[in-house]
Copies of this chain bind each other. A is one copy, B any other.
Amino acid sequence: MKDNIITLDHGSGGKLSDQLIRSVFLKYFNNPILNQLHDGAVLPPTDKKIALSTDSYTISPLFFSGGNIGHLAIHGTVNDVAMCGGRPKYLSTSFIIEEGVSIEILEQITCSMAEAAKKAGVNVVTGDTKVVNKGDVDGIFINTTGIGYIDLDVNINANQAREGDIMIVNGPIGNHGISILASRENLQLDQVISSDTAPLSDLVYQMLSVTKEIHVLRDPTRGGLATALNEIAQSSKVEIEIEEEKIPIQEMVKDTCEILGYDPLYLANEGKLIAFVPERHAEKILKKMKNCQYGEQSKIIGRVVSEDRSEVYLRTDIGGKRVIGMLSGQQLPRIC
């Protein structure tokens, strides 16, 4: 049934490309800007600052417990825009598809993207499709690039952490990494561990409704919490202390990490953020976060102790102090 699979002709820019765009992409992403099928989208002017962020998603396997590459492609970019303090508005999307992929799979992923986009309040307004020879990619790669609007008085940046800042994380870490590992290696766990993939834009919007004075936001994806904190410590030139006993990790994730020798601090997350906020606003922000869909399990996990040096350390359960570096090498490739 040649009709049900993607062929090189679907990427030719000719008749079959046009058919694929209309029967799959327009069907799900349907909106007035995209429907024009212009070379690009034309968007209205804005008196706000513009956040621009891009990511290519190459995750293997395409489907995993808790979602698929389509969810990631929307959430990941929406979250990066949100980490700039931006309210995501528009996305571009670009597919690189291996010939032989079934159109049903492509539709399923596109449908997930459309649902995720709707939930996150963004529209896919322009796109591109390439088809490459069998063997040249592993199924489907997706790039999304996002545009969001930032209020003029918001100034969130990895270099804005200050002595005394309190660090909040919006829930347990490590689930995405373990979920991908389990799906890929067919691990038989007692309980299914699902990816935490989720859009964080509304959570950030709610946090900013408490105060615009949020210093840093970051989503600890590849490289995990430890790497994200190190990047912030370097950009802001600050010393960060996190408290081991306060870091939320599900028992099941902790156990699996122990058996397999992973450190949850370095595992990828796709629905988590860390916020650095001035101490005087911390409790109010935390309270607001706990009332949000993706923030119920928010916790304060540490603080900026000085502006003397760039370092991240862990205060351990038994009172010790361990320096936490960036991820060196990799725990698990292609987790996003």
Chain A interface residues (CB < 8 Å from chain B): 8-9, 11-18, 36-56, 58, 79-81, 83-84, 86, 90, 92-96, 125-128, 130-133, 135-138, 141, 143, 145-147, 150, 152, 157-159, 218-219, 221-223, 227, 231, 235, 266, 268, 325-331, 333-334
Contact status B158-A55, CB under 8 Å: no
Q: How far does the Cβ of A263 sit from chain B's closest Cβ, in whole Å?
A: 12
Q: Which of B15, B41, B45 contacts A326 (CB 8 A)?
A: B15
* Most B CB within 10 A of own CB, among A12, A96, A218, A328: A12
Whether B41 and A126, one on each chain, are in contact in the complex, defined by CB atoms closer than 8 angstroms, is no
Q: Please measure, in the bound complex, the distance between the C-alpha atom of A40 and the C-alpha atom of B40, giving whole angstroms.
A: 21
The residue that A227 contacts in the complex, of B13, B48, B147, with Cβ under 8 A, is B13
Contact yes or no, A333 B131, CB < 8 A: yes
Task: Kindly identify which residue among B45, B58, B83, B132 contacts A46, using a CB–CB cutoff of 8 Å.
Answer: B45
Query: What are 15 A-to-B residue pairs whose CB atoms are below 8 Å?
Result: A14-B329, A15-B325, A36-B157, A38-B157, A39-B83, A39-B218, A40-B86, A43-B49, A45-B46, A54-B93, A56-B141, A94-B143, A132-B333, A132-B334, A145-B145
Instruction: Assess A333 versus B45: contact at CB under 8 Å? Given A137-B136, A158-B38.
Output: no
Query: Ordered nearest first, which 3 A-B pairs have the shortest CB separation?
Result: A13-B222, A14-B327, A40-B53
User: In the docked arrangement, what's the CA distance between A49 and B46, Å?
Assistant: 8
- Tell whether, in the assembled complex, residue B45 and residue A41 are in contact, meaning their CB atoms are under 8 Å apart: no
B15 contacts A54, CB within 8 Å? Answer: no
- Extra contacts, 18 of them, besides A43-B50, A54-B128 (Cβ < 8 A), are A8-B330, A11-B330, A12-B330, A13-B223, A18-B231, A38-B158, A39-B80, A39-B84, A40-B54, A44-B49, A45-B48, A50-B50, A52-B125, A53-B92, A55-B128, A56-B96, A56-B128, A56-B143
